[in-house]
Chains A and B, each alone.
Chain A
């Protein structure tokens, strides 16, 4: 069992030893005040000594106490005046605390529907999400929303915190019921892990220490679990993505590309490619203030120099040539729309992605997500807090990975170029091939390209038939001379001119009946003129005798 207080070092040596291996974990919480979220965070901070005595004293002095206990922990976390007055958490608030094993950053977000954008903001950097449920109410529509947003924003792990178990007599049946309700939909959302924990923030059961009143639960307490889950979702192991932020050029001898590695590892001597130029070079050095490195991994901020002089600037991306990101001007993405003014297709906006900004147009709104039912349905607009799939066309190619693969090179924000506000957060799905929805090539399209209608021509004279075929072919006609009349419908459908010996039906143009000159060439001339006259050959493309 963990008790942070007992393990806290009091000497500098013990402190430095402990800190050297301490990792940083970012997690988000979503839930409303009624679920006891502020109390839970307050409890976590208090038990992990993230709260100072004077802050506690100021809360104990406060005239407001909405809790049933001696300390209203929720007052610790509701920062802004409006929130204190209204008793709701409006904005994303960041909290910090530390245990001997880890430093934690909490992105504390509001739970109400009108704050979907704030939830998305908090979720964007989190490795774990705590979805809070009041044991009395069970899974509510907002629980589903929290899980959906967490999934959409790519949080790999979920903790289902079933709070206020004290008010349900710590009943296993209640807990199991809530878990199965939650797993019924969240189980399909692609999370790597979902861990339900029964707890009481008010009584401290299963928050910082294991519960004493829940004998039927033998899993970890909340803090214990937060101390052991993986910190990142594979940023180090991914492919190298190094967006160039800034070119450092103190004098003519040094030219370094400064940036923070989004994913992967770069080593001195690696062959790398700069995008969009596609030019390759080798890493000459990995420069830092503290000396050169042989290798650097995400999320380090470093400066790279190359063996060859290359024209690379901010917004470019350095990668390994055998592991390129997607490059496309058009792509589909999920958007969280964040402003009152709704999005309609055709809107021109600025896209900020890695270290580049580019003008884009939202070419279509493909669908809007109904968060309750998880259904995607066509919609003309995206309104505030809507989540939808759109197609975006950028003024120049964007280098990206799908958000599912890489949360940094797959993410972007959209900015309104007039008001300068951030209007949307986006998660790239995939590049759009320059494709249309394919339908049959129409007869009109075939005619326009071929310069003729399809027709079946009957001509008994075989040598004349072959001569005609050659002439039409030389004019780039789709033509074939057959010695019988099989499968003509298919050939007509393909837009062909078909030459057969005998008229097979009323649609056949029977050339045998024409009075033709004896000379082969003159006979073909006459046939060509006749076909033009009949409207089979488009007259502007054919004038008698003029082969190609």
Chain B
């Protein structure tokens, strides 16, 4: 037999990780972010346990600032493949008016994402949570383990990570502790799109270019949905041919100008692209090393 292509090798590795976790943990859950990485993870989970069902639920942490099209997709796709979905929101903070303009991006994220995530995991009693993070996304993620150990408070200590050798993962945790597991650790953005193309995996239409109303501010395209961003004098949303390269909350996720309205065209665009995908994420620009700080506190 000929050797596997790199995509097949990545797939085999991810399936191995998914099965290890399900075999060794009492109550795993998959953090479902609705984005392209989650879609790929979900397909890998289907493959790992076929012909059985996916043996764990999905958890979506809903900040309430997600795009309407994301929520529509969330309520349709997992159900269509027989997966069980839970949604958790930090309503306390949301009702108190948490938003990125009033609180600043990092505090808003802290409450609506990190806090909500930790509460959601605690409420379900989950001891292992799959996440779609990839090491190529951001510098501090390059050193993330596949099994990332978290203490009782969900915090990450980058200096005290368990060594990870071969394909042998240490799954031992005490009561109250948990791990985050990243089956896509070794995938890159183009691998993800390539796989979506090969496997014909459904993704949220926001990834595909079409004319959308956007607040145009210099290079940035800010989606007006949810009316969180105050308009400057004379500013109003205009129709721009654009798409989302990554999905998040509307106020903090910029769009990019693009004509790519299909998966093959997105791949072609990426081949020409020389900008990293998190660049249009406002959240990473607060300060150098901000992702590492968020992660230490418990963010995915």
Contacts and interface: CB of A to CB of B under 8 A. Distances in A.
Interface size class of A (residues with CB under 8 A): 35 or more
A22 B168 CA distance: 26
Contact of A121 (B6, B20, B165, B191): B165
A38 to B, nearest CB: 12
A268 interface: no
Contacts of A81: 289, 292
Contacts of B274: 49, 52-53
Nearest to A258: B19
B52 A24 contact: no
B3 A288 contact: no
A301 B16 contact: yes
B286 to A, nearest CB: 13
Contacts of B53: 250
Contacts of A84: 289
B12 interface: yes
Interface stretch (A180-188, A361-369, A413-421, A469-477): A413-421
A12 B275 contact: no
A301 B143 CA distance: 25
B238 interface: no
A265 B1 CA distance: 9
Contacts of A62: 288
Contact of B5 (A20, A297, A413, A421): A20
Nearest to B264: A12
Contacts of A125: 165-167
Contacts of A8: 271
A415 B172 contact: yes
Chain B interface size band reads 35 or more
A79 B22 contact: no
A397 interface: no
Interface string A291-333: 0000101011101000000000010000000000000000000
A15 B263 CA distance: 13
B22 A246 contact: yes
Interface string A90-130: 11111110100011010000000000011011001100000
B166 A22 contact: no
Interface string B253-279: 000000000001101100111111001
Contact of B279 (A52, A94, A124, A289): A52
Interface in B124-182: 135-136, 139-143, 158-159, 161-170, 172-174
A12 B196 CA distance: 13
Interface string B1-30: 101111111111101100110110000000
Contacts, number: 197
Contacts of B8: 300
B52 A249 contact: yes
A314 B23 contact: yes
Interface stretch (B43-51, B58-66, B113-121, B221-229): B43-51
Nearest to A91: B143
A537 interface: no
A379 interface: no
B19 A259 contact: yes
B259 to A, nearest CB: 14
B163 A117 contact: yes
Contact of B173 (A92, A102, A297, A420): A420
Contacts of A303: 50
A408 interface: yes
A94 B146 CA distance: 11
Given A23-B6, A125-B166, A236-B3, A82 B159 contact: yes
A102 B4 CA distance: 12
Contact of B188 (A10, A98, A411, A415): A98
A24 B6 contact: yes
Contacts of B161: 91
B4 A245 contact: no
A11 interface: yes
Given A20-B5, A407-B166, A408-B166, A248 B13 contact: no
B4 A300 contact: yes
Given A10-B268, A54-B279, A287-B51, A96 B136 contact: yes
Contact of A15 (B11, B13, B22, B268): B268
A55 interface: yes
Contacts of A527: none
Contacts of A300: 4, 8, 12
Given A15-B268, A92-B143, A288-B50, A124 B135 contact: no
B220 interface: no
Interface string A327-357: 0000000000010000000000010110100
B142 A93 contact: yes
A314 B289 CA distance: 41
A489 interface: no
B186 interface: yes
A404 to B, nearest CB: 15
A280 interface: no
Interface in B49-107: 49-53
A297 B142 contact: no
B165 A124 contact: yes
A283 interface: no
A237 B48 CA distance: 25
B194 interface: yes
Best-surrounded residue of B47, B142, B271, B275 (most CB of chain A within 10 A): B142
A299 B4 contact: yes
Given A93-B143, A422-B162, A245 B19 contact: yes
A352 B272 CA distance: 44
Nearest to B278: A54
Interface string A211-236: 00000000000000000000110001
B39 interface: no
A447 interface: no
Interface string A45-58: 00001001111001
Contacts of B22: 246
A94 B172 contact: no
Contacts of B9: 23-24, 299
A80 interface: yes
A421 B167 CA distance: 16
B250 interface: no
A413 B169 CA distance: 9
A413 B173 CA distance: 16
A352 B6 contact: no
Contacts of B170: 352, 413, 415, 420-422
A9 interface: yes
Contact of A9 (B48, B271, B275, B288): B271
A438 interface: no
Residue of A8, A246, A421 most packed against chain B (CB within 10 A): A246
5 contacts: A236-B1, A248-B52, A258-B48, A413-B168, A425-B165
Interface of A: 8-12, 15-16, 19-24, 49, 52-55, 58, 62, 77, 79-82, 84, 90-96, 98, 102-103, 105, 117-118, 120-121, 124-125, 231-232, 236, 245-246, 248-250, 254, 256, 258-260, 265, 287-290, 295, 297, 299-301, 303, 314, 338, 350, 352-353, 355, 407-408, 411-413, 415, 417, 420-422, 425
Interface of B: 1, 3-13, 15-16, 19-20, 22-23, 46-53, 135-136, 139-143, 158-159, 161-170, 172-174, 185-186, 188, 190-191, 194, 197, 264-265, 267-268, 271-276, 279, 288-289, 292
Given A248-B49, A299-B4, 11 more contacts: A12-B265, A52-B275, A52-B279, A91-B161, A124-B165, A231-B3, A300-B8, A301-B16, A352-B169, A407-B166, A412-B168
